[in-house]
Amino acid sequence: MINITIDGKKVQVPAGSTILQAAQTVGIHIPTLCHLDLHDIKMVNQTASCRICVVEVEGRRNLAPACATPVAEGMVVHSNTLKVMEARRTVLELMLSDHPKDCLTCAKSGECELQDLAELFNIRNIRVSGTSMSTYKKDISPSIIRDMDKCIMCRRCETMCNQVQTVGALSAVNRGFDAVVATSFEAPLNETVCTYCGQCVQVCPVGALTEHDSTWEVVEALNDPDKIVVVQTAPAVRAALGEEFGLEPGSLVTGQMAAALRRLGFDYVFDTDFAADLTIMEEATELVDRLTRHLNGEDVPLPLLTSCCPAWVNFIESQYPELLDIPSSARSPQQMFGAIAKSYFAEKLGVRRDQMVVVSVMPCLAKKYEATKFEDDNNQDVDYSISTRELANLIKRMNMDLKELPEEDFDDPLGESSGAAVIFGKTGGVIEAALRTAYEWVTGETLENVEFEDIRSTSYGLKVAHIKVGDLTLNIGISSGLGNARALLEEIKAGNPNNLHAIEIMACPGGCVNGGGQPYAHGDMKKIQARQAALYREDCGKPIRKSHENPSIKKLYEEYLVKPNSEKAHHLLHTQYTA
């Protein structure tokens, strides 16, 4: 252990720690705009590019960046001297001299780390002059808006995209005031390998990367007397929306969220969880079918890969076209919901599909892009997908405080769901939900303990578990984060040495609870764990915990779809992948 002193406090930390880490252990918060320590996924953005975290180290002439300076025995550090404060102020002024001053209309206003520091340092005028503003064209994709004039070259997005997600869509270009993180040849995002996972948006400290907001389109639909507006809410939203209203991470606000949506004017308040149960019906059928044929000696594509995460689907389509026969053909719950709402439910109401507007509330930004891919008769199944943050904004815009609202239920029939559906929002949840159903279908026995502890994990790496299903042992892989997904796909390409039968893949580390559209977690993985725990709590409290026991799902098959994987189910609920 190494002993140092910071601002008069004695600190003992392991050798190799940085001054920044040492300060954190004794509650000294040294500001930084570029550093990002995702220790749960063993990834640190240590570019030391912003120079906000500089400190004085006794015996050294120059200020040292706390994030990149290792501790040494006996070191004496000062984080708040006049010299340090002046240096931080100058750095901030330099950044602001090359930064648009449109805070009033910036999508990140109120969440911007640069704005927070400008406020903290009471920057009221910028003394640096003679600099030129860079001018880049805004890049507008269906999911993400890139405004590179606001890039401060912290390079957190680059770390996220290249090292955590291994997508490689972003890298630093140019020098001096023109330096930004860009796509190759500065192509628009929609012409690159970007998956729209939104993890770069989660970590961007300023307004350079933000979601493509659709709240006004939703408000207009809600105020159109000729439209029936239906909303669906993803599993992970209920575990994070409360944070936008000052509630603790992990607060469940399912009932208040339903009440808020009703008061916003939605005609039907439904739940994506209903469609998650439907997904299990289709996906578990596919899994059991492939396994049965495999056991009969047929050459079938295994392992089956889950297909509900659109960023993951984008990833495999662009990076592993040779493996496109292994994902389940089931569409995601968001899309199954849209297809069923605009067919089965529209028919029940006696309205045409173009009289109905389907809005989804998602923790994810890739869902916005996914929504554009599925349509019938030039009419999208899901018209608008808004993020958890956008919903919070809408609720506040309508002068409501979520905390003050009563708890209400979802509407029937597309609002009923099982506990299995709720845990979709956490890494491992989709495969656990599938196992709850597949177990009973394969063995013909009742599954008494529905909690598959062996596949549950709070870590963000790869997990392999071996689950007994009757006489069978199923080898299950679980991965969140696209870097981990890549490792699993490489393993499959190498001949599937672990003989995996099914794999769940979610693009965001920890699953949808950590999606690009969730309240900003600022790299705090404890928040993500609290959201995960909340979903398990909701599952525990549900009277029905298996997808195939959801009465509204049973009725949907009886009245409309006939049976899982039927011709009608295939037409409405399945898809084909394209490279």
Catalytically active residues, by annotation: 283, 286, 308, 328, 367, 370, 375, 512
Q: How many CB atoms within 10 Å of residue 31?
A: 17
Instruction: Report what 364 binds from ligand HC1, ligand SF4, none; CB cut-off 5-8 Å by kind.
Output: ligand HC1
Q: Which of residues 197-236 bind ligand HC1 (CB under 6 A)?
A: 234-236
Instruction: Report what 512 binds from ligand SF4, ligand HC1, none; CB cut-off 5-8 Å by kind.
Output: ligand HC1
Shortest distance, CB of residue 524 to ligand SF4, whole angstroms?
Answer: 18
Q: Is 341 in the site for ligand HC1 (CB under 6 A)?
A: no
Residue at shortest CB range from ligand HC1? 512
Stretch that binds ligand HC1, among 103-111, 356-364, 440-448, 559-567 (CB under 6 A): 356-364
Dig out the tokens for 217 from the structure: 């389109």
HEC profile for 73-134? CCCEEECCCHHHHHHHHHHHHHHHHCCCCCHHHCCCCCCCHHHHHHHHCCCCCCCCCCCCCC
Shortest distance, CB of residue 273 to ligand HC1, whole angstroms?
Answer: 6
CA distance 509 to 478: 11
Shortest distance, CB of residue 325 to ligand SF4, whole angstroms?
Answer: 24
Dig out the tokens for 316 from the structure: 């495999």
Report the interhelical angle of 113-120 vs 82-97 (nearest 10°): 130
> Which burial class, exposed, middle or buried, applies to 458 when counting CB atoms under 10 A from its CB (0-12, 13-18, 19+)?
middle
Name residue, tokens 């029939």: 413
HEC profile for 449-484? CCCCHHHCCCCCCEEEEEEEECCEEEEEEEEECHHH
Dig out the tokens for 375 from the structure: 């349509």
Helix (H) or strand (E) holding 158: helix 156-158
Nearest to 268 by CA among 328, 365, 346: 346
Handedness of CA 414, 415, 416, 417 (dihedral sign): positive
Query: Which CB atom, from 192 or from 306, has the smaller least distance to ligand SF4?
Result: 192
Query: Which CB atom, from 91 or from 366, has the smaller least distance to ligand HC1?
Result: 366
Shortest distance, CB of residue 124 to ligand HC1, whole angstroms?
Answer: 42
CA–CA–CA angle 390, 29, 55 (5° rounding): 125
CA distance 534 to 545: 15
Q: Is 518 in the site for ligand HC1 (CB under 6 A)?
A: no
Q: Is 425 in the site for ligand SF4 (CB under 6 A)?
A: no
Q: Is 309 in the site for ligand HC1 (CB under 6 A)?
A: yes
Query: Which CB atom, from 311 or from 462, has the smaller least distance to ligand SF4?
Result: 311
Shortest distance, CB of residue 345 to ligand SF4, whole angstroms?
Answer: 32
Helix (H) or strand (E) holding 6: strand 2-6
Find all residues with CB under 8 Å of 47, minimum gap 6, and list them. 34, 154, 155, 159
Query: Which CB atom, from 11 or from 507, has the smaller least distance to ligand SF4?
Result: 507
Nearest to 333 by CA among 304, 353, 309, 315: 309
Q: Is 316 in the site for ligand SF4 (CB under 6 A)?
A: no
Q: Is 13 in the site for ligand SF4 (CB under 6 A)?
A: no
Please list the alpha-helical segments (H only) found in 494-574.
Answer: 525-540, 551-556, 567-573
Shortest distance, CB of residue 406 to ligand HC1, whole angstroms?
Answer: 24
Instruction: Report what 254 binds from ligand HC1, ligand SF4, none; CB cut-off 5-8 Å by kind.
Output: none
Q: Is 30 in the site for ligand SF4 (CB under 6 A)?
A: no
Stretch that binds ligand HC1, among 111-119, 188-196, 329-337, 548-556 (CB under 6 A): 329-337
Q: Which of residues 135-194 bind ligand SF4 (CB under 6 A)?
A: 144, 160-161, 165, 167, 169-170, 194
Among 199, 417, 437, 547, binds ligand SF4 (CB under 6 A): 199
In the shown chain, the binding pattern of residues 156 to 185 toward ligand HC1, with x for contact by CB under 6 A and - for none, equals ------------------------------
Q: Is 492 in the site for ligand HC1 (CB under 6 A)?
A: no
Q: Is 363 in the site for ligand HC1 (CB under 6 A)?
A: yes
Q: Which of residues 269-288 bind ligand HC1 (CB under 6 A)?
A: 272, 276
Query: Which CB atom, from 154 or from 161, has the smaller least distance to ligand SF4?
Result: 161
Query: Which CB atom, from 477 or from 481, has the smaller least distance to ligand SF4?
Result: 481
Dig out the tokens for 497 from the structure: 């040495």
Q: Is 380 in the site for ligand SF4 (CB under 6 A)?
A: no
Q: How many CB atoms within 10 Å of residue 101?
A: 9
Query: Which CB atom, from 65 or from 516, has the smaller least distance to ligand HC1?
Result: 516
Nearest to 5 by CA among 84, 76, 81: 76
Query: Which CB atom, from 153 or from 506, has the smaller least distance to ligand HC1?
Result: 506
Q: Is 41 in the site for ligand SF4 (CB under 6 A)?
A: no
CA distance 54 to 49: 11
**Can you give the binding site for ligand HC1, defined by CB under 6 A?**
234-236, 272, 276, 308-309, 332-334, 362-364, 367, 424-425, 506, 511-512, 515
**Can you give the binding site for ligand SF4, defined by CB under 6 A?**
144, 160-161, 165, 167, 169-170, 194-200
